[in-house]
Amino acid sequence: MTCDPTRTFKKLARNNRLANLRLRHACLQLTADELVAPRTSFFPTIRKTLNHIYLVDLFYLDAMKGGSLGHSVFGEPEPYSDMSSLAEAQAALDMDLIAFVDGLDEDGLAATVQVHRGERVQQDRCDDILSHLFQHQTHHRGQVHAMLSGTRLKPPQLDEFIVGDDAPVRKTELQALGWTETDLMFPV
Which alpha helices (DSSP H) does the chain contain, by range?
A: 7-27, 32-36, 46-64, 83-102, 106-110, 126-148, 171-177, 181-185
**Bridge partners, residue 158, by sequence:** none
Name the DSSP letter for residue 40: S
| Torsion sign across C-alpha atoms 81, 84, 89, 95 | positive
Mean pLDDT, range 70-98, rounded to an integer: 97
**pTM given for the model:** 0.95
Q: For 23-51, write each residue's pLDDT tens digit.
A: 999 999 999 999 999 998 899 999 999 99
Q: What is the pLDDT of residue 1?
A: 66
In the predicted structure, residue 188 carries a pLDDT above the cut 60:
no
pLDDT of residue 3: 84
Residue 121: pLDDT band with limits 50, 70, 90: very high
Given a cut of 90, whether residue 93 has pLDDT beyond it is yes
In degrees, to the nearest 5, what angle opens at C-alpha 52 toward C-alphas 49 and 57? Answer: 130
pLDDT at residue 117 tops 70? yes
Q: Confidence class of residue 185 from pLDDT cuts 50, 70 and 90?
A: confident
* Averaged pLDDT, 106-112: 98
The answer to whether 18 and 109 have CB atoms below 8 angstroms apart is no
Question: Residue 186 has what pLDDT?
Answer: 65
